[in-house]
Amino acid sequence: MTVNTVPTATTAVDGIDTPAFLICSERCGSNLIRAIMNAHPLVYAPPPIHLARDFWLNIFRYGDLGRDENWHLLIHHVLHRFHHWPATLGFDLTEDELLDHVGDRNFKSVYRYIYLKGMRLAGKTRLFLKENHTHQQLSFLEAHFPKAQYVYQVRDPRDYVLSCKRVSRWYPHYDSLPKAIEVWREDQERSLNALYTLGPKRLFVQRYEDLLAEPEVVLRSLCGFLDIPFDPAMLSFHRTKEAKLAAERSPAYWRNLAKPLIADNVAKYRQGLSSSEILLVEQRLGNLMRQLDYPPETTDPGIVSRSAALLCGVVSQLRGFARRSALKAAQWLKRMFSRRTELPYTPDNSAVDQHEFIRRTELMRLKSCVEFPYHPESSNLDQTDPECPSVAGRT
Q: What CATH code is carried by the domain that includes residue 120?
A: 3.40.50.300
pLDDT for position 349? 38
Q: Give me the pLDDT at residue 369, please.
A: 40
On whether residue 146 sits in a domain, the answer given is yes
Alpha-carbon distance values, 259 to 36, 247, 255, 256 (Å): 12, 9, 8, 5
Please indicate whether residue 387 or residue 167 has the higher confidence score (pLDDT): 167
183-186 long-range contacts, CB within 8 A, separation 24+: 183/25, 184/25, 184/157, 184/160, 184/285, 185/284, 185/285, 185/288
| Cα(64)–Cα(72) distance, integer angstroms | 11
Cβ count near 64 (within 10 Å): 11
> With bands split at pLDDT 50, 70 and 90, how would you rate the model's confidence at 340?
very low
| Structural domain includes residue 194 | yes
Q: What confidence tier does 371 reach under pLDDT thresholds 50, 70, 90?
A: low
Percent of the residues in the chain that have a pLDDT greater than 70, as a whole number: 73
Q: Which range is least confidently modeled, 84-93, 192-201, 331-340?
A: 331-340
Amino acid 228: pLDDT: 97
Q: Report which of 20, 12, 6, 5 is spatially closest to residue 42, judged by C-alpha positions.
A: 12
Confidence of residue 289 (pLDDT cuts 50, 70, 90): very high
384 is a domain residue: no
Judged against a pLDDT cut of 50, whether residue 368 lies above it is answered with no
CB 2 within 8 A of CB 151: no
Closest by CA position to 233, among listed 29, 33, 41, 10: 41
Residue 168: which domain range? 12-340
Which one is predicted more confidently, 196 or 365? 196
Q: Is residue 364 part of a domain?
A: no
Contacts of 343 (CB under 8 A, 6+ apart): 354, 371, 373, 374, 381, 382
- Distance in angstroms (rounded) separating the CA atoms of residues 46 and 54: 17
- Helix runs in 206-348, H state only: 208-213, 215-226, 241-249, 251-254, 269-272, 275-291, 303-337
pLDDT of res. 9: 63
Q: What pLDDT, on a 0 to 100 scale, did the predictor assign at position 249?
A: 79
Q: Is the pLDDT at 114 greater than 60, yes or no? A: yes
Contact 181, 161 (CB under 8 A): yes
Residue 324 is predicted with a pLDDT of 66
CA 97 to chain centre: 26
Share above pLDDT 90 across residues of the chain, in percent, rounded to a whole number = 57
3-state secondary structure of 2: coil
Alpha carbon separation from 49 to 46, 54, 72, 167 (Å, rounded): 9, 9, 20, 19
> Which range (7-16, 201-210, 305-314) has the least confidence?
305-314
Tell whether the model's pLDDT for residue 141 goes beyond 70: yes
Average pLDDT over residues 153-158: 97
* 316 inside domain: yes
Q: So what's the pLDDT on residue 10?
A: 66
| Of the candidates 1, 7, 125, 113, the residue with the CA atom closest to the CA atom of residue 51 | 113
Could you give phi then psi for residue 39, rounded to 5 degrees? -75, -15
Quick one: which H or E segment has residue 166? helix 157-167
Kindly state whether residue 285 falls inside one of the protein's structural domains: yes
Q: Which residues contact 179 (CB under 8 A, 6 or more apart)?
A: 173, 317, 320
Query: How confident is the model at residue 23, as a pLDDT?
Result: 97
User: Average pLDDT, stretch 158-173?
Assistant: 77
Q: Do the domain assignments include residue 348?
A: no
The more confidently predicted of residues 241 and 307 is: 241
Strands 20-24 and 149-154: parallel
Query: Phi and psi for 76 in degrees, rounded to 5?
Result: -60, -45
d(CA 53, CA 136): 8
Average confidence (pLDDT) over 56-68: 93
Using the predicted structure, report yes or no on whether residue 238 has a pLDDT greater than 70: yes
Instruction: Look at residue 301 in the predicted model and tell me its pLDDT.
Output: 66
More confident residue, 111 or 367: 111
The pLDDT of residue 317 is: 62
Looking at per-residue pLDDT, the higher value among 5 and 234 belongs to 234
At 1 the pLDDT is: 44
Beta sheet of 126-130, edge-to-edge order: 43-44, 126-130, 20-24, 149-154, 203-207
pTM tops 0.85: no
Work out how many domains the chain is built from and give that number.
Answer: 1
Q: Is the pLDDT reported for residue 68 higher than 50?
A: yes
Per the model's pLDDT, the better-predicted residue between 177 and 202 turns out to be 202
pLDDT value, residue 295? 94
Domain-located, residue 295: yes
Cβ 153 vs Cβ 29: under 8 Å? yes
Q: What is the mean pLDDT of the chain?
A: 81
Q: Is the pLDDT of residue 212 over 80?
A: yes
- Over residues 217-227, mean pLDDT: 98
pLDDT band at 169 (very low <50, low <70, confident <90, very high): low
pLDDT of 304 reads 55
Confidence at residue 42, expressed as pLDDT on a 0 to 100 scale: 97
Pairwise CA distance, residues 340 & 362, whole Å: 13
Calculate mean pLDDT across residues 313-327: 66
